[in-house]
Structure 1
Amino acid sequence: MSNESPLIQSLRTAVAAAPSDVPLRLHLAELLLGEGLSDAAVAEAAVALQHAPGDSAARALMVRAMGMPAAAPDTPEAPKAPEEPAAPAAPNGFDWRAAEDEIGGAVPPRFVTSGTPETPVPVDGQGVPGDATTWEVDTPGSVTLADVGGMHEIKERLEAAFLAPMRNPELGRLYGKSLRGGLLMYGPPGCGKTFIARAVAGELGASFMSVSINDVLDMWMGNSERNMHEVFETARRQAPCVLFLDEVDALGAKRSRMHHGGMRNTVNQLLTELDGVDGANEGVFVLAATNVPWDVDIALRRPGRLDRTLLVLPPDAPAREAILRYHLRDRPIESVDLGKLVKVTEDLSGADLAHVCESASERALLDSTRTGTVRMINMKDLLAAAKEVRPSTDPWFASARNVAMFANEGGVYDELLAYLKRKRKL
């Protein structure tokens, strides 16, 4: 660039401002060729041909820039036997294959091949059917149940009902226990069901795959069922794998309430995949989460499917302390009494506690902007924020109370009923 004349530099600026102006670009190429900068002229002519493939002036300039004589229009060259298939020669006899090789590193190709028989083309933009990369699968993570603050009762139930048999495959084989399983977690929103699912995957040293209705549902008939099948196929290929079905009430809603055949078929497909005919689900551990278990199709909770249930309640005192400590770890705080803060945040969910810390930060920030003096977040800010935040779990318990009292067939919600009595929410 330093050897270029001021005129050429000015023209380069003009071309950069109007990249699709072919005559202007060709004028720049002519000047470059006149200065002996053939390679630069070839690059500009190639870009011009991208914008105007049939432009005769651009073709002629390309020929001159590459120093290749053009054949006379009325005297075609004698045909030669090519060593490999070549593109038809242009009317002026210019060798476009050689030109492409010459400028291949200067400009990108105008067309690319989207797929070959050896490389299947993605379907509906969702990836190659049957390919493990179609769905996002996380490698075994470092998060385990030890990273879940408090919730000792939940951890013990997970260990006894789910984790212990999976960790001991030899004992499982001795007692005829299959290395598969299903667990339905339910409870109010924002209480850590997804985090627990990831922790279970970490405990098992398994891959983790999270799926929601957005990943499965498709507007075209049959695609939703196919997507559901591909989800399970991917999990089977990645075994051992924890397959987490988020908001399973949407993926497996009660079919008796459905009037649309497409969704009924999707639920049927989910049931079929959970059955895992001929042991296909060995090493696939299905965890599902929902806020409304009473809306989940009863067939999903049949033995052999999501046959174990775990109630995930608002965090207890040790869990609240761990959550508050986590959300305050990178914030400037002073004289914070976590014990007192834990007491005044009873019944708040994990999401509520995060909001308390965020609101306290906003208070300190606004006060600093008003006074012009930067100060730390203190206990006064946190207590004021905690007083303003109402438990987001209250509406859920209002709905769950009616279910636990009047629709507790077979004692499915006995644990929830006991909690409501203990908290005097009945």
Structure 2
Amino acid sequence: MASMAMHYLVEKGTEYARLAVELDKKGEYEKAIKYYKAAIELFSKYLSLYPDNSLADFYKDLIAKYKLRIEILEKHMEKASAAGGSPGDVSKDDVEILMPDKRSNKKKFDDLVDLEDVKKALKRAVIYPVKTPHLYPLGWPKGILLFGPPGCGKTEISIALANEINAALINVSPATIMSKWLGESEKNVAKVFNKAREIASSGTPVIIFIDEVDGLFQEYSDEVGGEKRMRNQFLMEMDGLKEKENSKLPLFVIGATNKPWKLDIGFIRRFEKRVYVPPPDREVRKALFKYYIDKLSSVYKADELDLDKLAEMTEGYSSADIASIVKEVQNNIAEELNERQDGKASGSVERRLTMEDFVQVINRRKPSISPKMIEAYKIWYEQHGAT
């Protein structure tokens, strides 16, 4: 009975969502909003009844996307009404591409403090084949999986890799694929790869970056038809990259995940290179503290800090954790100076950074990485790692 209720909510919600998308495309926005709301209601009911289901996060993302779409449509209709016109078209780009000259993040490998082994693996798998394709008559890996704890730089190093080779970057997420084109998600997958092949054929390298790839490629016991078709399309497209006409294209699919053990074995095989992105060790944590504190030293004096001690205190902390710690110290001191009205409009101030400033923040902030988590990654790497 519970299974029937689950499938009814999912199937009916999917039906309403598909209707909403069709009406949205036709410009019938008022009706589209009605069906988006109906889909949200059913998916919300599904989440309240089955909060621990494997698809719970997926439907949460879906609901968020539909709410955002409703907000956009309502604002658009209000503006059209105020102007005395018709709603007109609310366009949506099929494939969002970040070309090298359009990216605000210009960091390259040398700008990243850590992840030397990961950089080396990506040079072998991507940079060298792009720079010297004639040295690879047998082709090169097209799928690379980056796995490891959250906040350790998987997305950051993927962007840096794109900058290293001046690649076009196509960002893909489970929520975008499934919510924006519900009912024809497999067509959207094909659009992504068709556009990527078109750009790569012109000589510009392309990286299709899939964040939280486990959301697309894990094995679901209760997946619905649209999800299965989308997943199969991804398999076909990734296999197609190895075919003769595509094998020499500078086109790469990079997936990032915090949960590699959730991936279906069929998808694991498509990612020929599987690279562990580890948490920072003690020396790297020290280098990270130095990197961020050096940025603060243009304003605050920072010549009496024990970086070794800070590195020792932050065992189990991710790179993102350390960045947040230093930023929180900055915010605390800025607040203190503002409260005393002792800050200057520009330039340095007399306030020194002290160890106590950092100790207080570290004591309030727990590490995001546990030894148990690290052990799980090590076990998975022993079984599936391929660098």
CA contact (8 A) 2:142 2:252 kept: yes
Aligned with residue 398 of structure 1, among 338, 354, 372: 372
Gaps of 5+ in 1: 1-108, 115-120, 416-426
CA deviation after TM superposition for structure 1 residue 330, in Å: 4.5
Aligned letter for 2:135? L
Counterpart residue number, 1:163: 127
1:342-392 superposed Cα distances (whole Å, 9 cap, x missing partner): 333233111211221132224324444565645343332023222332210
Q: In the alignment, is residue 263 of structure 1 matched against residue 227 of structure 2?
A: yes
Aligned with residue 217 of structure 1, among 168, 178, 184: 178
Q: The residue matched to 1:205 in structure 2 has which SS?
A: coil
Gaps of 5+ in 2: 1-82, 344-350
Q: The residue matched to 1:286 in structure 2 has which SS?
A: strand
1:323, 1:202 → 2: CA distance?
A: 21
Aligned with residue 360 of structure 1, among 325, 329, 342: 329
Cα distance change of structure 1 residues 410 and 322 upon mapping to structure 2, 3 Å threshold:
closer
CA deviation after TM superposition for structure 1 residue 241, in Å: 0.6
Q: The residue matched to 1:209 in structure 2 has which SS?
A: strand
Cα distance change of structure 1 residues 319 and 411 upon mapping to structure 2, 3 Å threshold:
same
Aligned with residue 384 of structure 1, among 348, 352, 360: 360
RMSD: 3.2
1:169-219 superposed Cα distances (whole Å, 9 cap, x missing partner): 1111xx3225x6111000000000001101111222212222111221137
CA deviation after TM superposition for structure 1 residue 268, in Å: 1.0
CA contact (8 A) 2:107 2:163 kept: yes
Counterpart residue number, 1:208: 169
Counterpart residue number, 1:290: 257
Counterpart residue number, 2:237: 273
Q: Which has the higher helix share?
A: 2
2:381, 2:109 → 1: CA distance?
A: 32
Aligned letter for 1:300? F
1:300, 1:184 → 2: CA distance?
A: 10
User: How high is the sequence identity, in percent, across the aligned residues?
Assistant: 29
Aligned with residue 156 of structure 2, among 172, 177, 195: 195
Q: The residue matched to 1:191 in structure 2 has which SS?
A: coil
CA contact (8 A) 1:317 1:343 kept: yes
Cα distance change of structure 1 residues 168 and 193 upon mapping to structure 2, 3 Å threshold:
same
CA deviation after TM superposition for structure 1 residue 113, in Å: 11
1:403, 1:151 → 2: CA distance?
A: 16
Aligned with residue 212 of structure 2, among 228, 231, 247: 247
2:283, 2:292 → 1: CA distance?
A: 15
Aligned with residue 227 of structure 1, among 185, 188, 204: 188
Matches within 5 A, 1:18-29: none
Counterpart residue number, 1:20: none
CA contact (8 A) 2:142 2:253 kept: yes
CA contact (8 A) 2:208 2:253 kept: yes
2:155, 2:181 → 1: CA distance?
A: 29
1:147, 1:340 → 2: CA distance?
A: 24
2:174, 2:195 → 1: CA distance?
A: 17
2:150, 2:254 → 1: CA distance?
A: 16
1:61-98 superposed Cα distances (whole Å, 9 cap, x missing partner): xxxxxxxxxxxxxxxxxxxxxxxxxxxxxxxxxxxxxx
TM-score (norm 1): 0.59
Counterpart residue number, 1:176: 138
Count residues in correspondence: 285
CA contact (8 A) 1:258 1:264 kept: no
Aligned letter for 1:308? K
Cα distance change of structure 1 residues 176 and 250 upon mapping to structure 2, 3 Å threshold:
same
1:233, 1:181 → 2: CA distance?
A: 15
Cα distance change of structure 1 residues 126 and 219 upon mapping to structure 2, 3 Å threshold:
closer
CA contact (8 A) 2:213 2:255 kept: yes
1:143, 1:310 → 2: CA distance?
A: 20
2:162, 2:178 → 1: CA distance?
A: 25
Cα distance change of structure 1 residues 391 and 369 upon mapping to structure 2, 3 Å threshold:
same
1:409, 1:340 → 2: CA distance?
A: 31
1:138, 1:316 → 2: CA distance?
A: 34
CA deviation after TM superposition for structure 1 residue 161, in Å: 3.8
Aligned letter for 1:412? H
Q: In the alignment, is residue 143 of structure 1 matched against residue 119 of structure 2?
A: no
CA deviation after TM superposition for structure 1 residue 327, in Å: 3.6
1:231, 1:378 → 2: CA distance?
A: 50
1:266, 1:226 → 2: CA distance?
A: 8
Q: The residue matched to 1:238 in structure 2 has which SS?
A: helix
2:186, 2:386 → 1: CA distance?
A: 34
1:287, 1:337 → 2: CA distance?
A: 38
Q: The residue matched to 2:372 in structure 1 has which SS?
A: helix
CA deviation after TM superposition for structure 1 residue 321, in Å: 4.1
Larger Rg: 1
Q: The residue matched to 1:185 in structure 2 has which SS?
A: strand
Counterpart residue number, 2:6: none
Counterpart residue number, 1:301: 268
1:270-316 superposed Cα distances (whole Å, 9 cap, x missing partner): 111111264347221111100000111211122xx211111011123
Cα distance change of structure 1 residues 322 and 410 upon mapping to structure 2, 3 Å threshold:
closer
2:100, 2:190 → 1: CA distance?
A: 21
Cα distance change of structure 1 residues 153 and 221 upon mapping to structure 2, 3 Å threshold:
closer
